[in-house]
């Protein structure tokens, strides 16, 4: 699976503790990115990390709680259920906000 490898690679470059962490899935490109909050722009740039801004807007929220790694396979089906409740905006990424080790907020962009 792509997402665990992406997180493993990011975690090998930067300490994820103490930073907001986001997963971003861009549907048109079928691309998943692991993202962390910038704490020190110059220091993060030295690590070779790409800088970007996640787009805002209106989102349909969901929240998952549970123990990793069993929590992670529930993300996709939960996004599918959210997509059934509202029309997703395919021009913006779906976001996963990792609040705690055992809690993830899911944000489906809607029009």
* pLDDT tens digits along 9-33: 999 999 888 899 999 999 999 999 9
Average pLDDT rounded to a whole number, residues 65-79: 96
Share of the chain above pLDDT 70, in %: 99
Q: Is the separation of the CB atoms in 6 and 34 below 8 Å?
A: yes
**pLDDT tens string 41-59:** 888 888 888 889 999 999 9
**pLDDT tens string 80-106:** 999 999 999 999 999 999 999 999 999
pTM of the model: 0.92
H/E/C letters for each residue in 16-73? CCCCCEEEEEECCCCEEEEEECCCCHHHHHHCCCCCCCCCCCCEEEEEEECCCCCCHH
């Amino acid at each position: 699976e792509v997402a665990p490898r992406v997180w493993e690679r990011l975690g090998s470059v930067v300490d994820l503790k103490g930073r907001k962490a986001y997963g971003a899935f861009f549907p048109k490109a079928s691309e998943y990115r692991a993202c962390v909050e910038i704490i020190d722009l110059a220091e993060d740039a030295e690590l070779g990390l790409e800088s970007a801004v996640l787009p805002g807007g209106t989102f349909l929220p969901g929240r998952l709680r549970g123990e990793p790694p069993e929590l992670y396979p529930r993300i996709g089906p939960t996004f599918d259920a959210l997509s059934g409740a509202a029309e997703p905006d395919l021009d913006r990424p779906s976001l996963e906000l990792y609040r705690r080790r055992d809690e993830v907020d899911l944000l489906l962009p809607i029009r």
